[in-house]
Structure 1
Amino acid sequence: MSNEVAIEADPRIPVIRMTRDFAATPAQLFRAHTDPAVFARWVGPDATSARIEQWDARTGGSWSYVAVHGDAEYRFHGCFHEVRTDRIVQTFTFDGEPDGVALETLWFEDLGGGRTRLRTQSLVDSFEGRDAWLRSGMEVGVNEGYAELDKVLADGLD
């Protein structure tokens, strides 16, 4: 698998699935998604920075952050429904589209040898909503964010 994220739109249900391998252990990838200081270092497109507003990465917790691009700010929030070392289930909402709540599941699959496959699934409420996400250029932000995560992981998390 290349460093580009594989993105798949399910033709039967409004789901986006993504898969990407990392040179990291499952524990390192889990931390990158649950530690707010680490998450803020890599999330989003290169042209943005993240400001964490609230982060409680536990089952029943919630999160919110702001992506800053110049003078523009884009807010995101959600709830952690389940947080386990091998899987996270959470909601994801862009405040600019408050009715577009996605249910996301992330799996951290140990490939051995210090490599992990990250699989994600985002279920949205309609095909129109899903297709709008796909047309938004989300793959740029995802690929740039994961490339930054590669650097963060290579530099060490501490």
Structure 2
Amino acid sequence: MRRTDSARRIIAAPPAIVYGALVDRESIEAWLPPDGMSGRVERWDPRPGGGFRMVLTYLDAADSPGKTSAATDVVDVGFAALMPPERVVQRAVFESDDPSYAGTMTMTWNLTATGGGTEVTVSATDVPPGIDRAAHEAGIASSLANLASYVEGSL
């Protein structure tokens, strides 16, 4: 069964600036980890067909056991499409021995210019069933809030 989780946010910055933060290694390390996590990019190849590997570490693993280990989620992300400054499409695969996290999740980041900046809409399709919908949507919203703070703070 296909499942889609999503979130959206208006960011007070032009699409080109927001897009830049979606395809820059240091930027992604700063804003992508949701509240309660830190992140480290281990591999980086920012082109269609390239991608990155990110280790997300829970600050308190007792409340949120990881998919890869008790304290981590490791995800390999491929860039399926890079269309500046409108869209980034990623294919994410979690490292896990638990089959409920298996499969490839597609993350589509759509950027639309608005009078106040950029509307960012994130859609995650084919979400593995082991990922709780409410927690996932809260995590996406948290990452979007981090993105807004990161981008707006750099203007």
CA contact (8 A) 1:101 1:124 kept: yes
For residues 89 and 46 of structure 1, what CA distance do their matches in structure 2 show? 23
RMSD of equivalent CA atoms:
2.4
3-state DSSP class of the match of 2:92? strand
How many positions carry a matched residue from both structures? 141
Q: Residue 74 of structure 2 corresponds to which residue in structure 1?
A: 75
Deviates more, 1:30-39 or 1:68-77: 68-77
**Unaligned stretches of 5+ in structure 1?**
1-11
Report 1 or 2 for greater relative contact order, CA contacts < 8 Å, sequence distance ≥ 6.
Answer: 2
Task: Give the aligned partner of residue 17 of structure 1.
Answer: 6
| Deviation per residue, 1:98-125 (Å, 9 max, x gap) | 6221122221111134x10112222207
TM-score normalised by L of structure 2: 0.78
Give the secondary-structure state (helix, strand or coil) at the position aligned to 1:100. coil
Aligned to 1:93: 93
1:11-49 Cα distance to aligned partner (Å, 9 max, x none)? x95322332211111111111111010111111222211
Gaps of 5+ in 2: 62-70
Out of 67-76 and 36-45, give the one that drifted further. 67-76
**Residues 17 and 121, structure 1, Cα contact 8 Å, conserved in 2:** yes
Query: Cα deviation per residue 1:52-93 (whole Å; 9 max; x = unaligned)?
Result: 011212111121100122472220112111111111122012
Distance change (3 Å), C-alpha of 1:104 and 1:154: closer
Does the Cα contact within 8 Å between 1:16 and 1:130 map onto a contact in 2? Answer: no
